[in-house]
A and B are shown apart, each in its own frame.
Chain A
């Protein structure tokens, strides 16, 4: 079988796999069980021995999550002074200690926290913060606050892990458009939202001819080789993603509401070789300027349930030790409530790092609610690139200084 006929790095040709799928051998091909060769990552452990099985899932909460109404400082009277109306009462808080508690609808994450699997990082931000959703998120995407970079921090992490871009499908971005965070020099992020629609639109009679788009075996130069390679991986990836999705067991469980994390679970269950998953929250209600209580409660409940459900799925699949999730927003919100029972764009925020490998607990200094900065805002006490560095270095085992341009102190967040 020629190289270009193989599923990238997977050892089975696309046509073979389709035959297998169509022939009803079914999901055993993904798990490495049965007479046919396994398709993805773990199945080819021999060739992947130099890489760990560790996976990072970034779950981006766009909109500007109100950290103070997420991890509630109910023990600080200043909190209720600033938020006389929308402050969450002590009786409603799921208590962590005498000072902090989870917002009341976050039972799922609270349980994981009690099991020691959730790191809460407080006061995360950067100097000279932007109050624009777009600008601030572009700083988080590039890891370059008040600067810019052609490539995203996840993309650069992939480069640090695999400089030559030899390993296919290192990055998956579950979205309808590619995030700046995943833009990479030598890796082609696999970007899709709806696995059932990740395919070429074509009239029935065109299908056979479309299968020949990637027939070039002697590309003329690097750009041509790249375009041919992406054409091939687009055809293959769209097929395997759709196949993985069609076989994913979690989607039959009506109690699981994973938001878009279900696609990640499906690919992990299918032993996809991806190390870095990036999932932006869709239809976010986190931009809570007005009447924030109900939508904020609801959004946190959805997200918390999705995260705990996702890790239940990881346990079922047997990968709970290998997966760490990171949650961040583009900024927190202003400390004093506004006149519309909501909050306006702010600065420092709360982040979460979640997984069996995480040493649960509180990280980062909680910002003072008395000494506010920049007209009613929290001072950032932890540079977000420290969290990035922690994930890149302590979890993924890559050189964080190379990714971030300089050394940042890590947070020592993972179990030995």
Chain B
């Protein structure tokens, strides 16, 4: 295995030095470090291409990707769950059914003229869309992860992922996968463009407007939610503005709303009066307010710091943050100069930046596929279930603050989950797998009871129909207008009927071929090759020796030539072990 050098951080004194590294300091290892941070890692051939391009060429290829063909990316294919009668979708089930009581119809469904539960179809309709958008969002997350895997512009997807966590909205509240899709497209398109323009586009994005209650922010009754988050989380950071700025900023954004997928301004609800905002006075609107925010020096530093911590390392000195902020401000908030400066800098290749980034679960999952040479995201295990188990539900960040990231990605339980997910990728549980899109969870029992001939009342009784108490029966006799529990189930069934199924193939890769092509001849050389290919941070000698002993024992020989006809599963187990190491979690 001579010639394969790994882990060559620059000297410690490169830390905080933004001078570009020299061509003489460029190497395969530095290129691997770059691709692991500016993207999702890659196979040796991809890294060799970057190594051959020199530091300037490699950084340019990653940052100025627009002209690089991206032939594998496919548009999202929708299942056809939406129809326009669902707009405007009620905020709650009571609103949905009250609307039908008041007008005779809701969401395109009329109330029944007579009979039991006249509003049941309306209630069913409400839950249909809740389930439909939730299920389609799972497909959307899987599709997006596939783009991260297949793109030839890894930095574009990496930055889109950053913006999704930074300008955080979650489908659970937005309740419309189409708005989330619109947002992914925005984050991809603006990934490395101008961050001030992106902030304005986000402020006018329907998912964000809904998420931060813009529709309640009207002249005379300003809702502060949006203006506060824009400053606190999206641009300046807490402590750099006053409560008065929040109130005045909220007034500037009054009248902003959306209709379905379009941004609108309602002039009648916009407060056109004079405002004093961040020390400036004028009859500001929302765009003015955002432009003023971007005139604050702290904004450039806050954003540059966030980008740096996402891409490089948590530990960021005040001086470096100021320098990075100045680059961003001096470029008029264009991101490419900042990204180029970061990825070219001695600081980025210094000891402090090596092994300092804990991969988030989505990034980690894409990296696993890259390391295995997989080119299509597998269906078993389920992408969403796997990443949720590891602590990241794509398109559903836990709050408006996004994901904490850094060390918060790793707890004992989450770390164990990472190893368990790796095993499910390497040796998928084909016979134990069940497609969760085709299960309404604990409500499945309702479907069984309905098919067994129970009426709606009996099917949804609190106790099992066979053991129903007098109280249950009394409750069931009521002629309720609708039964939401049954709607929860029916809605799922109706949505799942239309849903395009997620392909359930196992990840396709061949470790035997990979290892033999590397020239490895012994169990030790196989382990060393796999470690070199997949893990940036060196593992402990004892760990490596344990893996070699494991492989030798599994193969019944130390000689790969002797074992090549049957070594695939043993190699897969070795990679399961490798992907379970603490070293594998960081780059």
* Pair A223/B355 contact, Cβ less than 8 Å: yes
Q: Least Cβ distance of B574 to chain A in Å?
A: 8
14 additional A-B residue pairs with CB within 8 Å, beyond A149-B401, A203-B573, A213-B581 = A138-B399, A183-B404, A190-B411, A191-B412, A191-B413, A202-B576, A213-B543, A213-B580, A221-B356, A226-B410, A230-B411, A231-B415, A291-B480, A345-B92
| Interface assignment of A206: CB less than 8 Å from any CB of chain B | yes
Contact of A216 with B399 at beta-carbon distance under 8 Å, contacts A150-B408, A188-B411, A290-B484 already known: no
Contacts of A298 in B (CB 8 A): 462
Contacts of A202 in B (CB 8 A): 423, 576
Q: Least Cβ distance of A236 to chain B in Å?
A: 9
| Interface assignment of B104: CB less than 8 Å from any CB of chain A | no
How distant is the Cα of A124 from the Cα of B478 in the complex, in angstroms? 34
Residue of A nearest to B93 (CB): A289
* Pair B546/A209 contact, Cβ less than 8 Å: yes
Contacts of B581 in A (CB 8 A): 213, 231
Interface segment, one of A107-115, A306-314, A336-344: A336-344
Q: Least Cβ distance of A302 to chain B in Å?
A: 13
Contacts of A223 in B (CB 8 A): 313-314, 355-358, 407, 586
Interface segment, one of B34-42, B56-64, B225-233, B505-513: B225-233
| Interface assignment of B55: CB less than 8 Å from any CB of chain A | no
Tell me if B's interface is mostly helix, strand, loop or mixed: helix
* Pair B232/A205 contact, Cβ less than 8 Å: no
**Within B520-574, which residues are at the interface with A (CB < 8 Å)?**
537-543, 545-547, 549-550, 553-554, 573
Q: What does the 1/0 interface line of A192-214 toward B look like (CB < 8 Å)?
A: 10000011111101101111111
* Pair B550/A340 contact, Cβ less than 8 Å: no
How distant is the Cα of A208 from the Cα of B358 in the complex, in angstroms? 26
| Interface assignment of B172: CB less than 8 Å from any CB of chain A | yes
Set A151, A212, A237: member contacting B412, Cβ < 8 A: A237
Set A212, A228, A338: member contacting B94, Cβ < 8 A: A338
Interface segment, one of A45-53, A140-148, A260-268, A383-391: A140-148
* A-B interface contact total, Cβ < 8 Å: 195
Tell me if A's interface is mostly helix, strand, loop or mixed: loop
How distant is the Cα of A191 from the Cα of B538 in the complex, in angstroms? 28
Q: What does the 1/0 interface line of B467-481 toward A look like (CB < 8 Å)?
A: 000011001001011
How distant is the Cα of A138 from the Cα of B400 in the complex, in angstroms? 9
| Interface assignment of B18: CB less than 8 Å from any CB of chain A | no
| Interface assignment of A320: CB less than 8 Å from any CB of chain B | no
* Pair A224/B546 contact, Cβ less than 8 Å: no
Contact of A212 with B546 at beta-carbon distance under 8 Å, contacts A189-B411, A231-B582, A283-B442 already known: yes
Contacts of A283 in B (CB 8 A): 442
Give me the interface of B with A, judged by CB distance under 8 Å. Answer: 7, 92-94, 170, 172-173, 223-225, 228-229, 232-233, 313-315, 351-352, 354-358, 388-389, 391, 398-401, 404, 407-408, 410-416, 419-420, 423, 427, 442, 462, 471-472, 475, 478, 480-485, 537-543, 545-547, 549-550, 553-554, 573, 576-577, 580-583, 585-586
Residue of A nearest to B574 (CB): A209
* Pair B580/A210 contact, Cβ less than 8 Å: yes
Q: What does the 1/0 interface line of A115-159 toward B look like (CB < 8 Å)?
A: 000000000000010011011001001100011111100000000
How distant is the Cα of A273 from the Cα of B93 in the complex, in angstroms? 45
* Pair A234/B416 contact, Cβ less than 8 Å: yes
How distant is the Cα of A346 from the Cα of B427 in the complex, in angstroms? 48
Contacts of B420 in A (CB 8 A): 200-201
Q: What does the 1/0 interface line of A17-52 toward B look like (CB < 8 Å)?
A: 000000000000000000000000000000000000
* Pair B416/A198 contact, Cβ less than 8 Å: yes
Set B412, B442, B485, B554: member contacting A238, Cβ < 8 A: B412
Residue of A nearest to B472 (CB): A294
* Pair B550/A227 contact, Cβ less than 8 Å: no
Q: Least Cβ distance of B142 to chain A in Å?
A: 19
Q: Least Cβ distance of A416 to chain B in Å?
A: 37
Set A131, A199, A222: member contacting B315, Cβ < 8 A: A222
Contact of A222 with B356 at beta-carbon distance under 8 Å, contacts A192-B413, A227-B585, A344-B92 already known: yes
How distant is the Cα of A205 from the Cα of B478 in the complex, in angstroms? 60
* Pair B577/A209 contact, Cβ less than 8 Å: yes
* Pair A209/B550 contact, Cβ less than 8 Å: yes
* Pair A210/B404 contact, Cβ less than 8 Å: no
Set B223, B229, B314, B577: member contacting A148, Cβ < 8 A: B229
Contacts of A185 in B (CB 8 A): 407
| Interface assignment of A217: CB less than 8 Å from any CB of chain B | yes
How distant is the Cα of A201 from the Cα of B416 in the complex, in angstroms? 8
Residue of B nearest to A189 (CB): B411
Q: What does the 1/0 interface line of A280-301 toward B look like (CB < 8 Å)?
A: 0001000001110111001000
**Within A326-365, which residues are at the interface with B (CB < 8 Å)?**
338-341, 344-345
| Interface assignment of A166: CB less than 8 Å from any CB of chain B | no
* Pair B416/A199 contact, Cβ less than 8 Å: yes
How distant is the Cα of A148 from the Cα of B412 in the complex, in angstroms? 25
| Interface assignment of A177: CB less than 8 Å from any CB of chain B | yes
* Pair A230/B408 contact, Cβ less than 8 Å: no
Set B313, B549, B583: member contacting A227, Cβ < 8 A: B583
